[in-house]
Amino acid sequence: MSSKNLIIPASEITPQAAYEDRRQWLRLMASGAAGTALATWAGREALAQTPGGGKLAKLPGARSAVAGGLVLEKPTSYQDASSYNNYYEFGTDKADPARTAGTLKTKPWTVSVEGEVGKPGVFDLDSLLKLSPMEERIYRLRCVEGWSMVIPWVGYSLAELIKKVEPNSKAKFIEFTTLADKAQMPGLRGGSLDWPYVEGLRIDEAMHPLTLLAFGMYGEVLPNQNGAPVRLVVPWKYGFKSAKSLVKIRFVEKQPTSSWTKAAQQEYGFYSNVNPQVDHPRWSQATERRIGEDGLFAKKRPTLMFNGYAEQVSSLYAGMDLKRNF
Ligand SMILES: Nc1nc2c(c(=O)[nH]1)N[C@H]1C(S)=C(S)[C@@H](COP(=O)(O)O)O[C@H]1N2
Ligand SMILES: [Mo]
């Protein structure tokens, strides 16, 4: 993996200095020593071009201090990010969730934290919102289907919650379960997946600072179709690992089986790290189509190892055969 692959062609919103030395910039951001010019350009400029819907409650977050937490690429428009969705509980067409997720009741909401932890408990949404300061993270999102977006999320590292509940030595993995309520979710009548939607991470993946517990996007609370009121965002993995509308976080000893693995074991592995060298059995993963870019059906953009986050996460997989552990 050469560092060249990590450098994205400059868009018009990319200040030349930052673009020329991305490593240095990331280091500055990580140390919190970035000057105000560097620290404030990305989100503000970008968000000025792609405002939120303006209809939902504001949820501001400070610039991310996490290395890799701000991508030097133009965010996808709010319109696209909130109308082209995968949320099978609300239907399998990309336009279904925006049409039908209005029925999702996000208040009151609780997330149950269970399993191998010293301090299990049921968190209501208010206590989760207050648990740690919010950050704005601008991440690439790469769907396993071959399309991608750039989304400014608002939330904090999942690690903040994990530390509070004190995992014990048996906590090797985390299983995430999302809401499954037939009364609210028309897609549950279809048999596309085994409900509820379940995902999993290894504990060190879950603890990685890039792994985000997200409550908002584009400076506002999450629209229902994007996984309100709280979801996971794991930017170096295919989008389906980023489970929406979380209701349960369970610390376990054995590797959980995710819904997509259950549905097609040979196609969707546990790790599902973005990897241009490991193709899906039915299509190439070498390139992707960026939603909002020219060429609606052209997969023109090279897909980056770990979705461009190799510098931050490759050490998690040192010595692993990423083809076998796909
Ligand atoms: N509960 C739930 N979470 C989910 C999904 C889903 O169908 N149900 N789809 C996943 C897939 S395949 C992708 S690509 C992302 C899409 O997130 P977005 O619609 O916010 O872009 O959500 C993921 N999380
Ligand atoms: Mo996806």
Tens of pLDDT, residue by residue over 203-243, are 999 999 999 999 999 999 999 999 999 999 999 999 999 99
Same domain flag for 87 and 137: yes
Q: Which residues contact 41 (CB under 8 A, 6 or more apart)?
A: 13, 15, 18
Beta-strand runs (E) in the chain: 62-63, 110-115, 121-124, 135-142, 147-157, 173-178, 198-202, 212-217, 220-221, 231-233, 246-252, 287-290, 301-302
CA of 117 to the centre of ligand 2 (A): 30
State yes or no: pLDDT of 131 exceeds 50: yes
Same domain flag for 36 and 67: no
Same domain flag for 294 and 176: yes
DSSP 8-state code for residue 97:
H
Question: How much is the average pLDDT of 104-109?
Answer: 97
Task: Look at residue 50 in the predicted model and tell me its pLDDT.
Answer: 53
DSSP 8-state code for residue 76:
P
Task: Look at residue 52 in the predicted model and tell me its pLDDT.
Answer: 80
Q: Are 38 and 14 in contact (CB under 8 A)?
A: no
238 lines ligand 1 (CB under 6 A): no
Amino acid identity at 43: G
Range of the domain at 34: 14-46
Q: Mutate which of 244, 247, 259, 289 to test ligand 1's pocket (most atoms within 8 Å of Cβ)?
A: 244
Which residue, by CA, sits nearest to atom 19 of ligand 1? 85
For the stretch 25-76, pLDDT in tens is: 334 334 443 333 333 444 444 554 456 888 999 999 999 999 999 999 999 9
| CATH number, residue 206 | 3.90.420.10
Its pTM surpasses 0.85: yes
208 lines ligand 1 (CB under 6 A): no
Total domains present in the chain: 2
Alpha-carbon distance 127 to 206, whole Å?
A: 20
Written as six digits, the tokens of 80 are: 């696209």
Same domain flag for 125 and 39: no
Same domain flag for 90 and 217: yes
243 lines ligand 1 (CB under 6 A): yes
State the first-to-last Cα distance of the chain, in angstroms, to the nearest integer. Answer: 18
Same domain flag for 36 and 163: no
Whether 7 maps to a domain, the answer reads no
Alpha-carbon distance 16 to 25, whole Å?
A: 12
Give 19's pLDDT tier (boundaries 50, 70, 90). Answer: very low
Same domain flag for 212 and 248: yes
Give 7's pLDDT tier (boundaries 50, 70, 90). Answer: very low
Same domain flag for 22 and 80: no
Same domain flag for 229 and 85: yes
233 lines ligand 1 (CB under 6 A): no
89 lines ligand 1 (CB under 6 A): yes
Same domain flag for 287 and 162: yes
Same domain flag for 114 and 194: yes
Whether 4 maps to a domain, the answer reads no
For the stretch 254-309, pLDDT in tens is: 999 999 999 999 999 999 999 999 999 999 999 999 999 987 678 889 999 999 99
Q: Which atom of ligand 1 is nearest to the CA of 193?
A: 7
